[in-house]
Structure 1
Amino acid sequence: MKLVSWNVNGLRACVKKGFLEYFYDIDADIFCIQETKLKEGQIDVDLPGYLQYWNYAEKKGYSGTAVFTKYKPLTVSYGFSPEESEREGRIITLEYENFYLVNVYTPNSQRDLARLKFRLEWEDKLKKYLLALNEKKPVVYCGDLNVAHQEIDLKNAKSNIGNSGFTNEEREKMTSLLASGFIDTFRYLHPDAVDRYTWWSYMNKVRDRNIGWRIDYFIVSESIKEKIVNADIHSHVLGSDHCPILLEIDL
Structure 2
Amino acid sequence: MNLVSWNVNGLRACVNKGFLEYFNHINADIFCLQEIKLQEGQIHLELGEEYKLFWNYAQKKGYSGTAIFTRINPLSVRYGLEEETEPEGRIITLEFEAFYLVTVYTPNAKRDLSRLPYRLEWEDRFRNYLLELDARKPVIICGDLNVAHQEIDIKNAKSNRGNSGFTDEEREKMTLLLETGFTDSFRFLYPERTDAYSWWSNMPKVRERNVGWRIDYFLVSSRLRPFIADARIDSDIYGSDHCPVVLEMADFSESLLSQENTIS
Q: Which runs of 5+ in 2 are unaligned?
A: 252-264
Post-superposition shift, 1:250? 1.6
| Alignment-mate amino acid for residue 86 of structure 1 | E
Q: 1-side partners of 2:34 and 2:224: how far apart? A: 25
Post-superposition shift, 1:46? 1.4
Deviations 1:45-72 (A, max 9, x none): 1110210000000000000000000011
1:225 aligns with 2:214: no
Paired position in structure 2 for 1:191: 191
Paired position in structure 1 for 2:261: none
Post-superposition shift, 1:85? 1.2
Paired position in structure 2 for 1:16: 16
Paired position in structure 2 for 1:157: 157
Paired position in structure 1 for 2:262: none
Post-superposition shift, 1:227? 0.4
Q: Percent identity?
A: 67
Q: 2-side partners of 1:79 and 1:85: how far apart? A: 6
Paired position in structure 1 for 2:216: 216
Paired position in structure 1 for 2:53: 52
Alignment of 1:173-192 (within 5 A): 173-192=173-192
Alignment of 1:230-241 (within 5 A): 230-241=230-241
Paired position in structure 1 for 2:107: 107
Paired position in structure 2 for 1:244: 244
Q: 2-side partners of 1:46 and 1:114: how far apart? A: 40
Q: 2-side partners of 1:162 and 1:107: how far apart? A: 17
Q: 2-side partners of 1:238 and 1:39: how far apart? A: 23
After TM superposition, which residue ranges in structure 1, 4 or more long, deviate above 2 angstroms?
A: none
Q: TM-score, normalised by structure 1?
A: 0.99
| Alignment-mate amino acid for residue 214 of structure 1 | R
Paired position in structure 2 for 1:67: 68
Deviations 1:192-234 (A, max 9, x none): 1100000000100000000000000000000110000000000
1:133 aligns with 2:133: yes
Q: 1-side partners of 2:34 and 2:99: how far apart? A: 21
Root-mean-square deviation (Å): 0.5
| Alignment-mate amino acid for residue 203 of structure 1 | M
- Matched residues, number: 250
Q: 1-side partners of 2:45 and 2:35: how far apart? A: 16
Deviations 1:114-153 (A, max 9, x none): 1001100110000000000000000000000000000000
> Secondary structure at 2:114's aligned position in 1?
coil
Q: 2-side partners of 1:92 and 1:85: how far apart? A: 12
| Alignment-mate amino acid for residue 199 of structure 2 | W
Q: 2-side partners of 1:125 and 1:142: how far apart? A: 17
Post-superposition shift, 1:172? 0.1
Q: 1-side partners of 2:30 and 2:57: how far apart? A: 19
> Secondary structure at 2:92's aligned position in 1?
strand
Post-superposition shift, 1:84? 1.6
